[in-house]
Amino acid sequence: MQHLELHSLPLGLTGREILVSLIIAVAALVLTPVVGLFVLLLTS
């Protein structure tokens, strides 16, 4: 039980950091082609 309790605190912090980084990565992956399409539509 002590081993699990010791790991629960750092996992909570790193879990949030991982979630934030994943959201930022997904947003970047989604926004990049969308912005590219908008630029192509505006320039064409």
| Per-residue model confidence as pLDDT tens digits over 18-41 | 888 899 999 999 999 999 999 999
The pair of structure tokens assigned to 43 is: 């320039």
Structure tokens belonging to residue 11: 């996992």
- Selected residue with higher pLDDT from 13 and 17: 17
- pLDDT of 13 > 80? The answer is no
Question: How many distinct helices (H) and strands (E) make up the chain?
Answer: 1, 0
Select the more confidently predicted residue: 22 or 4: 22
For residue 16, the model assigns a pLDDT of 80
Supply the pTM of this predicted model. 0.51
Q: What is the pLDDT of residue 37?
A: 95
For the chain, give every domain's residue range: 1-44
- Residue 6 has what pLDDT? 54
